[in-house]
Structure 1
Amino acid sequence: MVDASEATVDKGTDWAAMMDIVKGQVVQELGWDEDADSSISEALENELGDPLLDEETDEVVDAVLLWWRDDDGDLIDGLVDAGRNLGDDGSIWLLTPAAGTAGTVDPGEIAESAQVAGMVQTRSTRLGGWQGACLVAGGNKR
């Protein structure tokens, strides 16, 4: 298996636009580790003009960037924890290593975990060596 951090990433990709992240929003980043794609985090910070908030914040956020790997624990708990600071119309971008790479999370597990956590997946997109799933609270169709 290939490590997600070794995947080729197009530095010119507008990650913020792909994730509907715009200036003025507040974004929290959870689960970042050495294998995470820092170009995605940096692109969001460039768009926002502010650093991403970490797990220590108690501020209400518009979006959460949640890096998750298969061995990170219970995904349901991770999604519930990620949603603690999320505003009513906010979204969680669950980033998991792309298929065929170390740490891949089965799409069925993502769908089931999101449902149990009271969320629905509104879309899915490839973000470099990571697969992004946009999750919102069950009643929101953002």
Structure 2
Amino acid sequence: MSATADPAEDRSNPAYRLGFEPGQVVQELGYDDDCDQELRDGIESLTGTDLVDEEYDDVADAVLLWFREEDGDLTDALVDAQEYLADGGLVWLLTPKTGRDGHVEASDIADAARTAGLSQTSSVTVAKDWAGTRLATPKTARPAKR
């Protein structure tokens, strides 16, 4: 990528498919040594901001949740991920791909998302060992116009 290229237009960036935009605050949960550093760097490049962690206590535009089968209850993790999420914000659930240690079955993701009040909208490959599931929060009801 040239020094003058717009990071938001760099389709070689692994985070490009996730739809992040400049200026967004992305909270990262579930980080460990196995997380894909290229994806993390790509998100920071696209947004122009550092990823914030679980200590962040302000509103985030999106959540990046790394989750492995052995990490506990997925529904609880998804509910917790929404704590500081802006209305209409997205949760990107990143799980190990099929055949990798810690893989989470698609049916388990769908059940947990539904129980946590999220809508599963798409799934993409985001890195060599990781798949991403885009989960949308419900839009807040708007008062009727008079």
Contact 1:16 1:22 in 2 (8 A): no
Contact 1:29 1:52 in 2 (8 A): yes
5+ unaligned residues in a row in structure 1: which ranges? 1-11
Counterpart in the other structure of 1:63 = 62
Write out per-residue CA displacement over residues 61-112 of structure 1, whole angstroms, 9 at most, x where no aligned residue.
Answer: 1110000000000000000001101101100000000001000000000000
Task: Report how far residue 17 of structure 1 moved.
Answer: 1.8
Counterpart in the other structure of 1:133 = 133
Counterpart in the other structure of 2:37 = 38
Contact 2:87 2:139 in 1 (8 A): no
Task: Report how far residue 50 of structure 1 moved.
Answer: 1.6
Counterpart in the other structure of 2:8 = none
- Seen in structure 2, the aligned counterparts of structure 1 residues 62 and 20 have a Cα distance that, compared at 3 Å, is same
Counterpart Cα distance in 2 of 1:13 and 1:65: 20
Bigger mean CA offset, 44-53 vs 117-126: 44-53
Task: Report how far residue 24 of structure 1 moved.
Answer: 1.1
Contact 1:98 1:130 in 2 (8 A): yes
Q: Give the % identical residues.
A: 45
TM-score normalized by the length of structure 1: 0.87
Counterpart Cα distance in 2 of 1:79 and 1:37: 20
Question: Letter of the aligned partner of 1:59 in structure 2?
Answer: D
Write out per-residue CA displacement over residues 10-41 of structure 1, whole angstroms, 9 at most, x where no aligned residue.
Answer: xx832232000010111000101011101111
Task: Report how far residue 139 of structure 1 moved.
Answer: 4.6
Contact 2:69 2:102 in 1 (8 A): yes
Structure 1 stretches of 4+ with a deviation exceeding 6 A read none
TM-score normalized by the length of structure 2: 0.84
Write out per-residue CA displacement over residues 92-140 of structure 1, whole angstroms, 9 at most, x where no aligned residue.
Answer: 0000000010000000000000000000111000112101000011458
After the TM superposition, which residues 15-54 of structure 1 pair with which residues of structure 2 at under 5 Å, given as runs?
A: 15-54=14-53
Question: Letter of the aligned partner of 2:125 in structure 1?
Answer: R
Contact 2:28 2:65 in 1 (8 A): yes
Contact 1:30 1:65 in 2 (8 A): yes
- Seen in structure 2, the aligned counterparts of structure 1 residues 88 and 139 have a Cα distance that, compared at 3 Å, is closer
Relative contact order, higher structure (CA 8 A, sep 6+): 1
Counterpart in the other structure of 2:3 = none
